[in-house]
Amino acid sequence: MKFNKLNSQERRVIEEKGTEMPFSGKFDNFYEDGIYLCKKCNTPLFYSKDKFNSDSGWPSFDDSIDGAVKEIDDIDGIRVEIICANCGGHLGHVFRGEQLTPKNTRHCVNSISLNFKPFNDSSYKKAYFAGGCFWGVEYWFSKQNGVLSAKSGYMGGNLENPTYRDICYRDTGHIETVEVTYNPNIVSYRDLVKLFFEIHNPEQANGQGPDIGSQYISAIFYNNIEEKETIIELIDKLEESGMNIVTKLIDAREHKFYIAEDEHQNYYRLRNSKPYCHNYIKRF
């Protein structure tokens, strides 16, 4: 197995199980969309959607990629060490029971143990779903295996760089929308559309649950004709079962996605709560 060449500081942490100073690592206050990789062997370890601010001074993740991180007893006999399951490189420690996120887990990782790969290459795709308040839609998509990030935002309107106040109190035409970045080798577009129809009420025309208004309608912004055909096929199946689907199909190529303000991202996870108007109902 071929490993990356490490400098002396990297060897001290990764191979000799050292610890970098708190608040000194480049990924401590870093929240771009992407995948965190093992510095020694390039194994994907963590998705950016699982990163959160723990105020500990080290990058914190409440989940890891399945099978990528191994837990072992620390030499101090108290803590649990985490290492790369592929090369055994030291990453940091895992802590549970702190009540910082709903998963109640904190992988405390040294920045120097990580590399970062942004979601900007052709191996990842984006999809756009609107199903009422974007907090709940984001919550459910972020839980889907293969989804790398789910971002709340605005789409479909006629005002550049809209704010939450704009779409609520001005007739901008925007719809609360979630941008889903996903790995098509893990989850298909078809499965994402199925999930969309199972986490909200696609028969409600004027909003979703108690959230009434044009910014809360059910809509899918499709990127190409293949996606549109997939959506229509699944709508036909639901209508064959007796449902009256009112979801609008809109060409994403004619509209820009504007990311919402920071306070609207990871809303339920940061508050350790669940959506009040989005429940999962199996329909396929």
With 90 as the cut, is the pLDDT of residue 2 above it?
Answer: no
pLDDT of residue 73: 96
Q: 188, 227 in Cβ contact below 8 A?
A: no
The C-alpha atoms of residue 73 and residue 6 are separated, in whole angstroms, by 25
Burial class (CB in 10 A: 0-12, 13-18, 19+), 21: exposed
With 80 as the cut, is the pLDDT of residue 112 above it?
Answer: yes
Domains of the chain: 8-118 (2.170.150.20), 125-270 (3.30.1060.10)
Tell me, yes or no, if 108 is annotated catalytic. Answer: yes
Tell me, yes or no, if 84 is annotated catalytic. Answer: no
**Active site residue: 38, 41, 87, 133, which one?**
133
pLDDT of residue 121: 65
The C-alpha atoms of residue 257 and residue 253 are separated, in whole angstroms, by 10
pTM for this one?
0.76
Closest residue by Cα to residue 180 from 122, 140, 227: 140
pLDDT of residue 267: 86
Query: Per-residue pLDDT tens for 223-264?
Result: 999 999 999 999 999 999 999 999 999 999 999 999 999 889
Q: 135, 38 in Cβ contact below 8 A?
A: no
Query: Per-residue pLDDT tens for 119-171?
Result: 876 778 999 999 999 999 999 999 998 898 899 999 999 899 999 999 999 88
**Three-class DSSP category at 127:** strand
The C-alpha atoms of residue 171 and residue 157 are separated, in whole angstroms, by 9
Q: Where are the beta strands (DSSP E) in 183-233?
A: 207-208, 211-212, 218-222
Query: Per-residue pLDDT tens for 38-94?
Result: 999 999 999 998 999 999 999 999 999 989 999 999 999 999 999 999 999 999 999
Query: Per-residue pLDDT tens for 195-217?
Result: 999 999 999 999 998 999 999 99
Tell me the one-letter amino acid at 282: K
Residue the block writes with tokens 């984006």: 126
* DSSP letters spanning 67-97: TTEEEEE-TTSSSEEEEETTT--EEEEEEES
pLDDT of residue 113: 98
**Active site residue: 38, 108, 168, 277, which one?**
108
Query: Per-residue pLDDT tens for 260-283?
Result: 998 899 888 777 788 888 999 999
